[in-house]
Amino acid sequence: MEYLSYLVATGISTGALYALVALGIVVIYKATEVVNFAHGEMFMLGGFFAFTFHVMLGWPYLPSFALAVALAFAVGVAVDRIAFRPLMQRRTLVSVLLVMIGLSFVLKGVARWIWGGKGDYLTFPPLISPEPLSFAGIMVMSQQLVVLGAACAVMIVFALFFKLTRAGRFMQATADNPKAAKLVGLRTDRVYMYTFGVGSAVAAAAAVLMAPLTLLYPDIGFMLFVKAFAAAVLGGLTSIPGAVVGGFLIGIIEQLAAGYLHTAMQEVAAFIVIMIVMIFIPTGLFGLGRIRKV
Amino acid sequence: MRVLIGKRAFLFALFVLLFVIPWVANEYQTFVANLILLYVILSLGLNLLIGFAGQLALANAAMYGIGAYGTGLLMTHFGLPYWISAPGGVAIAVISGTLLALPALRLSGIYLALATLAFAQFTFWLMTHWTPVTFGAGGFIPPPIDFSPLPVTQETGIYYLSWAAALLLYVAAKHAMESPVGRAFVAIRDGEVAAQALGIDLLKYKSLAFAMSGFYAGVAGALYSGLLGFVGPESFDLLQMVLHKAAVVLGGMGSVVGSLIGGVLLTVLVEVTKEFKFSIEIAFGGLLIVFVLFQPNGVIVFVRRLLPGWTERLHYVPPDKESEEDLAAAPDPDPDAAPGPEEPTRAAAAGPRGGDPG
């Protein structure tokens, strides 16, 4: 029982981070109908940016966090300008995906080139003392609690951004009906650009939160992308609450698979979830039924 | 003059050159030439699936790996000769490829891409972690291949086997794509509902496209295990997937002869990149971006301009019907976009660049 609660607690705290990355995937998908293949690389770059400021330059954690998120926003905008905007005109999904795959490899290569020389795995110093806490008989790492709290805070900020700000409402309107949004005078091109930026910024926030718990390496992006995609698709790919629930579920599922089946299962649980969900429940838990368009 | 420097002459010269390479080149050059033959087979197979049938599947590297592992493992575990294990490995790849077509019947676009990506990563994970069968991350060395009635070494034997396979598979792909099968593929690519309305059986042709590309990748894999004499998971990772995509895009999506050129160019570029110790990820990710953005028809466009006798149909990447509604805000696409395969060559060639010197 204690083991189980430990696994679930760990699953929830990593799941919160998957949920953050999945949020970005869902927001971008809702607006553009494209899954950003380079989304994992946004996560990876966010982590490396924070590492540069916090560890290499010795800045405090919070400014590093803010700057990493801002830089990731800029990279997200660049993804829009390179991969999405020019190809959207030609309306070719295959081309968009191919360019995004190419971009994700370029970013990975650049990260390996810049940060790879400092050892394959970079460690990020912990935020607070790594003493475990005990809560009603459940052992949790205090670090995990901080991460969980911060991740929830980011999610709330994100939700408020969507509900309250003009930019957030523009994004909602564009995702809802791009044609109508354009008709009422929204500059949808610009909204798409912000959407990519915001999605990347959230992924970077997740990375900066996760960095103290894990190691940073150039290939981490793809791993996180697959897990977050599994979360997003489990939640239906078009539902923001679905992405959050999916994130927590994937976190817990992979911890349970690792704890009770085999440790190597942790890596592969997300792939299996993707395949099962896609084949048996393609609309996910919260998704709308997909409409077949001619 | 036109006939002399046309496509046929070019292909003839290419295959003759590849035929004589083992006699005139050193060991390394022969190895690279053999890799060229394998990449030609791989990009032909992938182009059938992506360029013609329009199914964005990301599992080609996994099929390649399944072919190589299947062949090597049948030789190692059961002591079967290469002549039996290689078709066995190919058969396993074809079966897995056909199974992948099942999700393809329900999924399209991004969903299909990610389902196949998940499958590919699952395969990679099996290669790395199913140690009792696959020997884990370290890989394994299959037993040497005996070409005994023929007086050739393993290297030469595999080389000419690859040569013959590449030639046969090229001719097969060319003819298949000019037959009703190819037209059905293109119809599915350009619009599934329209294709169904024309009486095209989606189940049959999608499965066929996946099976064919599985077959091509499986053949390349079976040859690869013999070529390298070593099979390990790192040969079939995501980077490999990107290389295959780059070969297809480089040569030209939807052009059979383009895949031939793409395979040759890609292998040479990979070796050059390695030689200069440049990042393969940046080089080929960048190549993919540049070509999709600026020349979606691949180098075949430039080849046409240089060789006046070259007649090759070009297929623009079709507009994506599924997302059309939502992206309708964008201005109309190029009116020349997506000529069907039946369109006269000239009309397709005139294209936006209008650069047909012939």
- Tell whether B226 is covered by a domain: yes
Band of residue B340 on the pLDDT scale cut at 50, 70, 90:
very low
List A133's β-bridge partners, or say none.
Answer: A140
SS3 letters across B159-200: HHHHHHHHHHHHHHHHHHHHCHHHHHHHHHHHCHHHHHHCCC
Check CB contact under 8 Å for A106 and B111.
Answer: no
Contact flag A92-B115 (C-beta cutoff 8 Å): no
Those of residues 130-169 in B touching chain A at CB distance below 8 A are none
Give the CA distances from residue B163 to residues B18, B19, B294, in Å, rounded to whole numbers and listed in that order: 7, 7, 32
- Partners of A87 on chain B (C-beta within 8 Å) are 292-293
Q: What is the pTM of this model?
A: 0.84
The answer to whether residue B323 sits within a structural domain is no
How far does B7 lie from chain A, in Å, by closest CA? 27
**For residue B49, what are its two tokens?**
């699936």
Residue B107, CB half-sphere, CA atoms under 13 Å: how many?
27
A275 touches chain B (CB under 8 A): yes
Q: Residue B263 and residue B268: Cα distance in Å, rounded?
A: 9
> Which residues in chain A have Cβ-Cβ distances shorter than 8 Å to B129?
264, 268
| Tokens 């949920």 found at | A19
Q: How far is B289 from chain A (nearest CA, A)?
A: 5
Tokens found for residue B185:
């593929």
Tens-digit pLDDT profile for residues B137-166: 888 888 888 777 777 788 888 899 999 999
Q: Which residues of B197-225 are buried (b: 16+ CB within 10 A; e: fewer)?
A: eeebebeebbbbbbbbbbbbbbbbbbbbb
The number of C-alpha atoms within 13 Å of A44 and in the hemisphere containing its C-beta is 27
Q: Tell whether B55 is covered by a domain.
A: yes
Element holding A138 (H helix, E strand): strand A138-141
Can you tell me the distance from the alpha carbon of B38 to that of B42, in angstroms, rounded to the nearest whole number? 6
Evaluated on CA atoms B225, B228, B233, B234, the torsion sign reads negative
In this predicted structure, what is the pLDDT of residue B308?
A: 66
Question: Which one, of A225, A192, A210, A230, lies nearest residue A41 by Cα?
Answer: A225
Going residue by residue through chain A, which has 294 residues, state the pLDDT in tens, using 9 for 90 and above. 678 888 888 888 889 889 989 988 988 888 888 888 899 999 999 999 998 888 888 888 888 899 999 999 999 999 888 888 888 766 677 888 888 999 999 999 898 888 875 556 777 777 666 566 666 666 667 777 888 888 888 888 888 888 888 888 888 888 888 888 888 888 888 888 988 999 999 999 988 888 877 788 888 888 889 899 999 988 888 888 888 999 999 999 999 988 888 887 888 888 888 888 887 877 777 766 555 544
Please report whether residue B328 resides in a domain: no
B282 touches chain A (CB under 8 A): yes
| Cross-chain Cβ contact B330/A91 below 8 Å | yes
Q: Return the closest-CA partner of residue A77 out of A182, A172, A199.
A: A199
CA A153 to chain centre: 15
Whether the CB of B198 is below 8 Å from some CB of chain A: the reply is no
Which of B234, B248, B320 has the highest number of chain A CBs within 10 A, making it the mutation to test binding with A?
A: B320
Residue A269, token pair as written in the block: 């649980």
What pLDDT is recorded for position A119? 56
H or E stretch covering B248:
helix B238-251
Task: Read off the CATH number of the domain in which B163 is found.
Answer: 1.10.3470
Q: What is the pLDDT of residue B331?
A: 41
- Candidates A93, A106, A113; nearest CB to B289: A106
Q: What is the distance of C-alpha B2 from the center of its chain?
A: 29
A89 touches chain B (CB under 8 A): yes
Residue B326 confidence (pLDDT) = 38
| Domains assigned to chain A | 2-280 (1.10.3470)
Interchain proximity B129–A264, CB inside 8 Å = yes
The contacts of residue B289 (CB under 8 Å, 6+ apart) are A82, A83, A99, A102, A103, A106
Q: Does A35 touch chain B (CB under 8 A)?
A: yes
Q: What pLDDT score does B311 carry?
A: 64
CA distance B345 to chain A (A): 22
A215 - beta bridge partners? A123
The one-letter amino acid at A80: D
Of these ranges, A221-230, B8-17, B89-98, B191-200, the one predicted with the greatest mean pLDDT is: B89-98
Q: Establish if B259 belongs to a structural domain.
A: yes
Which residues 20-59 of B have a C-beta within 8 angstroms of A?
A: 50, 54, 56, 58
Considering only the beta carbons, identify the residue of B119, B125, B238 that sits closest to A275: B119
Nearest CA-CA partner of B291 in A38, A94, A40:
A94
How far does the CA of residue A158 sit from the closest CA of chain B (Å)?
25
CA distance A136 to A219: 38
Domain that residue B186 falls in: 7-318+334-350
Q: How far is A254 from chain B (nearest CA, A)?
A: 14
List, as one string, the DSSP characters of B312-337: ----PPPP-HHHHTTTTTSPPPPTT-
Give domain status of residue B324, yes or no.
Answer: no
Whether residue B269 is contained in a domain is answered as yes
Per the structure, the count of domains in chain B is 1
Residues 6+ apart with CB under 8 A from B119: A271, A275, B59, B62, B100
Compute the nearest-CA separation of A149 from chain B (Å): 31
B31 domain-assigned: yes
- Is the CB of A291 inside 8 Å of chain B's CB atoms? no
